[in-house]
Structure 1
Amino acid sequence: MKPIGRCRAHTNIALIKYWGKRNEELFLPMNSSLSLTLDAFYTDTSVTLDDTLSSDIFYLDDVLQGDKETLKITNFLNLFRTAANIETKCLVKSYNHVPTAAGLASSASAFSALAGAMNEATGLNLDLKTLSTFARQGSGSATRSIYGGLVEWHMGEDDISESSYAIPVDDATWDIGMIVIAVNTGQKKLSSRVGMKQTIETSPFYSSWVETATSDLTKMKDAIKEKDFITLGELTESNGMKMHATMLGAFPPISYWEPDSVKAIQAVKEIRETGIPCYVTMDAGPNVKVLCRQSDMKQIEEKLLNQFKPEQVIPTKVGSGIKVLSDSQWNY
């Protein structure tokens, strides 16, 4: 019987952002970050080790992927093959329950699920902290999707790969939720990797971004300890807007925003002015995420539906960490 591993991983949205690598090959970030794992968006992935294969085969949502997409997967699988001292090729089947490359962290769930499935298939049995260092080398934010709740990604030291990993900070079960306003779920024109590199190389605001992100993280961890939702939200909104300001300062300027992004931000601010605490954040894409109390989600959702279609307003609870799936749980 061929060794097989199956795993589910959820996306995460950074509250304190990661934007920029100091080492592109090892995916080592310029600053530490902190995220919230989301229940509504996830990826299920299976990996079968097959001695009869001469090369890796990759299916995404039952569509056979081309050489370019498969090569990226092969390079990632090689991390595990090297650790397990094997050369066996793999059949990878991945199912994305999140729009791909739309700024909704699909790569985070994708590579975290792939890491978990490969860990299971090879029998490496890596602990979660070590597994997060592997996931990081597929997609930086994937390191955080190994865990549920609020998760910190340590930037690490120098160019030491093992020093940059994720750890769980808090289970976030104290009335925290998020609403995604899906402005545009199509594939973005400028990838995060290209955007990051351009920002680092040309934006005069970038060094200040890194410095303030570090202090923002310290303040946010204090807020989490105190279960201070207001401070958590204010820091989330401020940090996200500062990240986008660094992009606008790049040459040429970078903006992932669309008119409906601005419309969504304004709508959230108007809701907040009515006395409901809710705060926006955005990643490298036009979609707006609203950090709020779970107990307020229904009320906020109803107000947003005055301006957006039902399919655009997606409420989500806090997500869990990676989960190995049994045969009976694999529904594909």
Structure 2
Amino acid sequence: MITTGICRAHTNIALIKYWGKRSEALFLPMNSSLSLTLDAFYTDTKVSLDDRLTDDVFYLNGRLQGAKETAKISRFLDLFRRTAASSTRARIDSYNHVPTAAGLASSASAFAALAGAANEAFGLRLDKQTLSTYARRGSGSATRSLYGGFVEWHKGQDEQSGSSYAIPVDDADWDIGMIIIAVNTGKKAISSREGMKRTVDTSPFYPAWVTTAETDLQQMKQAIAERDFTRLGEITESNGMKMHGTMLGAVPPFSYWEPDSIRAIQKITQIRCNGTPCYVTMDAGPNVKVLCRYSDSERIKEELLTEFSSQQIIVSRPGPGIKVLSEAEWQY
């Protein structure tokens, strides 16, 4: 007997960053964060429970994955198996429409889609808030990809897994856009997990990051409530730069920036100085994201084309939350 669940989840880009865990095992963050879900990048995942299987089988973009990659997926599915009191193994087919491990939040959409598909396949009927605590155990930022628009991830007030979850803040339907400048979509040398741990353990700047991130979050939510785009952008840019500053204080220091990252930042600063409001942010990778009004996005893109190729520039609107797909919608 085969029971399936299929789900699509879009990636998100943090405007108030998540950087550092207080619990590695439970993926509990040191600070709360806030993100924007994007329409341009997503993952489709199908979980097929099959009582004939003796082990989980994992295919990514049509390719059978090895033992290490499959073991990570199996540990994640074990969360659902325990809740469902099931030992049934699964075939997992995942198609990632996001460059993997390039600082474009591929793990966010990947584990959110996997959580949604597993919830369907096991028939658990978990609500989104609860499901976000499961998604978090695969990738911290995945907790935010269950919702569309602006999303807040509560850090939680204790060491219990259920206290740290995501909630929707605003659907971002007020002329919000984001431009991704894909400087380098290859796999990064230092994973987000490794970078976070080194920063938390060794950077003297890190305690100040945690304190100011909480202040930034409150000011960001106020800017969203007032639809103050300029303030929204200023906080986004400042928060992202502070996060990257903590890495320069780590031992040994490290940075995800590349020369073209700096070139992109300088170009956006120039465009802003010339009168078009736009603001940069970067995650754990070299690619630059530009928060802008969607109505300005094509104008900004034209300016960027003087420095970068059209293949490197992706314009996105805010994206939706997870969607359960039917077999007819599974196009792979």
Please classify the TM superposition score into its range, dividing by the shorter chain length: over 0.9
5 Å-filtered alignment, 1:67-86, equals: 67-86=67-86
Residue in 1 aligned with 2:174?
174
Paired residue type of 1:270: Q
Aligned-pair CA distance for 1:157: 1.6
Off by >6 Å, runs of 4+ in structure 1: none
Matched letter for residue 248 of structure 1: L
Cα distance in 2 between the residues matched to 1:164 and 1:212:
20
3-state SS, counterpart of residue 307 of structure 2: coil
Normalised TM-score (structure 1): 1.00
Aligned residue for 1:3, secondary structure, equals: strand
The 2-side partners of 1:283 and 1:269 are apart by 18
Which residue number corresponds to residue 129 of structure 1?
129
Match of 2:212 in 1: 212
What are the residue-to-residue correspondences of 1:224-263 with 2, within 5 Å?
224-263=224-263
Identical pairs, percent? 70
Q: Counterpart of 2:2 in 1: which secondary structure?
A: coil
Runs of 5+ consecutive residues of structure 2 not aligned to the other structure: none
Q: Match for residue 186 of structure 1? A: 186
Counterpart amino acid of residue 83 in structure 2 = A
| 1:103-152 C-alpha deviation (Å, 9 max, x unpaired) | 00000000000000000001001000000000000000000000000000
Equivalents in 2 of 1:57, 1:327: separation in Å? 20
What is the one-letter code of the residue matched to 1:94? Answer: S
Residues 89-100 of structure 1 mapped to structure 2, 5 A cutoff: 89-100=89-100
| Letter of the structure 1 residue corresponding to residue 157 of structure 2 | E
- Provide the C-alpha distance between the structure 1 equivalents of 2:147 and 2:184, rounded to a whole number of angstroms: 27
Equivalents in 2 of 1:90, 1:146: separation in Å? 22
Q: Structure 1 stretches of 5 or more lacking a match?
A: none
**Corresponding residue for residue 268 of structure 1:** 268
Question: Offset of 1:254 from its aligned partner?
Answer: 1.3
| d(CA) in 1 for partners of 2:20, 2:152 | 16
Q: Count residues with an aligned counterpart.
A: 332
Query: How much is the aligned-residue C-alpha RMSD, in angstroms?
Result: 0.5
What does 1:20-99 align with in structure 2 at a 5 Å threshold? 20-99=20-99
Q: Could you tell me which residue of structure 1 aligns to residue 115 of structure 2?
A: 115
TM-score w.r.t. structure 2 length?
Answer: 1.00
Q: Which residue pairs with 1:146 in the alignment? A: 146
**What is the CA–CA distance in structure 2 between the aligned matches of 1:137 and 1:253, rounded to whole Å?**
28
Instruction: Provide, for residues 46-69 of structure 1, a one-character-per-residue CA deviation record: whole Å limited to 9, x for no partner.
Output: 000000000000000001000000
What SS does structure 1 have at the residue aligned with 2:148? coil
- Name the CA distance, whole Å, in 1 between partners of 2:290 and 2:259: 17
**Alignment of 1:286 onto 2:286:** yes
| Structure 1 residue 328: Cα displacement | 1.4
User: Which amino acid in 2 is paired with 1:245?
Assistant: G
Partner SS, residue 151 of structure 2: strand
